[in-house]
Structure 1
Amino acid sequence: MQWNMKRGAAALAVASALGAMSAGAQAQSSVMLYGQVDAWAGATKNLGASDRAWGVNSGGMSTSYWGMKGSEDLGNGLKALFSLEAFFRPDTGKAGRFDGDTFFARNANVGLSSNSWGTIKLGRITPPYFVSTILFNPYGDSYTFSPMIFHTYLGNGLTGAAGISGLVGDSGWNNSILYSTPDFNGLTANFIYGAGEQAGHNGQNKWGGNVLYFHGNFAATAAFQQVRFNSNPGDLNALVTGFSRQTAGQLGATYDFGVVKLYGQYQYIKNTINTGDAKSNGGQLGASIPLGPGSILASYAYTKTSGAADVKRNTWAVGYDYSLSKRTDVYAAYFRDKVSNLSSADTFGVGIRAKF
């Protein structure tokens, strides 16, 4: 009996020790499931079109996605990180932003983070230029209502009319390395390099970075990137004959006065083409005005493209975003777009966005 009691006590001690070790391990690592679902109903008339299409669509205020991310504490201020994020379309249930999109198109990377020297990530990564673009306009990353997103990332549908009036290279870069500095009293910097990974195209790459500064009610950014291919090395020539390189720069700032938050951006894009460079100058002014539990959103963007064709683009949007809770909001917005020599386009609708 005495031996059995001692054996039971020893087993209990071992179990307690293992439980403590397990609890410690759980405290040092974490995995999170998160995302957002955004759908809206309304109508869209495209540039140059005569008819309007009505329907239920995805991604009114922001693109729907789900993701998993995790971290493990390695000690001495060092952590291992990973992130996997996939877009989807709630109006059809399809994966991706469009048919044929990469599954983990938003992010798919792994890295290390240190309190003292910063963070390094490897994989498919959102470039810093995109981050600066969405943080400094009132409509964020809306591919439906944000004038700045249209001028920055949705200009290439106008290739035939305006040369190249937007960025190439996508809002997610494959085969890339990102370094982010620690936070120096609100000042951070991010640098990214994307490899082409094809023999015979070693000079085909993407690289860029941004600087972000947040202090009280004021924030500012400067961003730059250079891209030598769109999806695969050598494919810029398929957009415009002789197109070999694109460089882009952006400045942005916001100031929150309490009664209104003002946004401003300036952008310059140069497309190097052997028959003559094409250049775009423009920017965005916007405002967010608190009203009740939501905000009135207004934004205007202007871009002038010169080179193969001299084209002007004017785009504006106004809307109201109403918060039902910290994670759910409903919105209504109107968007209007005009490009030289094309009939105007517009979009209007109402939607709901839920975050989890």
Structure 2
Amino acid sequence: MGNASNYFTDNSVLRVNNSVSYASPSYAGFKLRALAGLGENATQPGANIGNIHSASLQYDSGRFSANAAVETRKTTAANTDRFYALGASYAVGTVKASVLAQARRDDLDVARNDAFELGLSIPAGPGTLLLDAGRFRNRSVTDADATALSIRYDYNLSKRSMLYAGAATIRNSARSRFGINGNTGAALAVAAGDDPRSLVLGVRHTF
């Protein structure tokens, strides 16, 4: 809860069946990952519809981390979706700042959008304060942008137990209808232009 990138993600590519993946050993801070998945297409065999390919490069060095990723998805015989992401984080003392940029493009010019996210993790007392802001820009549909804001506090009871409380909101433009995802699934449906708000309270224990 609270990550703007979760709200603006295309959920249809979060799980890939019929796939193989590879993760390389880390070398000088770099690590490569790759995935290939074959779609199941009975209506147009041989058209590669449903095929997904992705690759990412991770770099870690002390307080700095960065990752770049690209993914392609064949949706029809005439169209391929392309997803791009670039993220980084840096710790200054005990405070960690992060930034994420995402983009989606397709051959038919019907699904073009960008998303940006900024996050802060700040130690506070026995826990951590988490702040997050994200912006979605729809380049295919006018007046369909959105802004997400969230705040959460994680309170450590012990090494294995934690209490957490948070609040989030999304400001939808007149033609956007993003909702706030929970930990167990997609958001409840909202009407275009509505601004959903959410409160979360919970406890986590690691066995």
After TM superposition, the structure 1 = structure 2 runs for residues 208-219 of structure 1, keeping only pairs within 5 Å, are 208-219=54-65
CA contact 1:253–1:264 (8 Å) conserved in 2:
yes
After TM superposition, the structure 1 = structure 2 runs for residues 267-346 of structure 1, keeping only pairs within 5 Å, are 267-273=102-108, 276-341=109-174, 342-346=193-197
TM-score by length of 1: 0.49
> In the alignment, which residue of structure 2 is the partner of 1:252?
87
CA contact 1:224–1:249 (8 Å) conserved in 2:
yes
Q: Give the drift of 1:289.
A: 0.2
Change in 2 beyond 3 A, CA 1:349/1:308: closer
Q: Give the drift of 1:244.
A: 3.4
> In the alignment, which residue of structure 2 is the partner of 1:191?
34
Change in 2 beyond 3 A, CA 1:272/1:350: same
Structure 1 portions without partners, runs of 5+: 1-141, 153-166, 235-241
Q: Which amino acid aligns with 1:187?
A: F
Q: Which amino acid aligns with 1:314?
A: T
CA distance in 1, matches of 2:101, 2:74: 23
> In the alignment, which residue of structure 1 is the partner of 2:198?
347
3-state SS of 2:7 partner = helix
> In the alignment, which residue of structure 1 is the partner of 2:189?
none
> In the alignment, which residue of structure 2 is the partner of 1:203?
48
TM-score by length of 2: 0.82
Q: Which amino acid aligns with 1:324?
A: L
Q: Which amino acid aligns with 1:207?
A: H
CA deviation string 1:187-218 (max 9, x = no partner): 10100001014351541200101111111111
CA distance in 1, matches of 2:143, 2:56: 29
Q: Give the drift of 1:171.
A: 1.8
3-state SS of 1:350 partner = strand
After TM superposition, the structure 1 = structure 2 runs for residues 1-356 of structure 1, keeping only pairs within 5 Å, are 142=1, 145-152=2-9, 167-199=10-42, 200-204=45-49, 205-229=51-75, 244-273=79-108, 276-341=109-174, 342-356=193-207
CA contact 1:176–1:193 (8 Å) conserved in 2:
yes
CA contact 1:304–1:310 (8 Å) conserved in 2:
no
CA distance in 2, matches of 1:335, 1:351: 15
Change in 2 beyond 3 A, CA 1:326/1:172: farther
CA distance in 1, matches of 2:86, 2:55: 12
CA distance in 2, matches of 1:321, 1:272: 43
3-state SS of 2:8 partner = helix
Is the helix fraction higher in 1 or 2? 1
CA contact 1:335–1:348 (8 Å) conserved in 2:
yes
Change in 2 beyond 3 A, CA 1:243/1:282: farther
Change in 2 beyond 3 A, CA 1:186/1:290: same
> In the alignment, which residue of structure 1 is the partner of 2:185?
none
Q: Give the drift of 1:168.
A: 4.8
Q: Which amino acid aligns with 2:204?
A: R
Q: Give the drift of 1:182.
A: 1.0
3-state SS of 1:225 partner = strand
> In the alignment, which residue of structure 1 is the partner of 2:181?
none
CA deviation string 1:135-157 (max 9, x = no partner): xxxxxxx3xx22121012xxxxx
3-state SS of 2:5 partner = helix
Change in 2 beyond 3 A, CA 1:244/1:355: farther
CA deviation string 1:40-91 (max 9, x = no partner): xxxxxxxxxxxxxxxxxxxxxxxxxxxxxxxxxxxxxxxxxxxxxxxxxxxx
Flag as ranges the 4+ runs of structure 1 deviating above 6 A: none
RMSD, aligned α-carbons:
2.0
Structure 2 portions without partners, runs of 5+: 175-192
Q: Which amino acid aligns with 2:56?
A: N
CA contact 1:217–1:255 (8 Å) conserved in 2:
yes
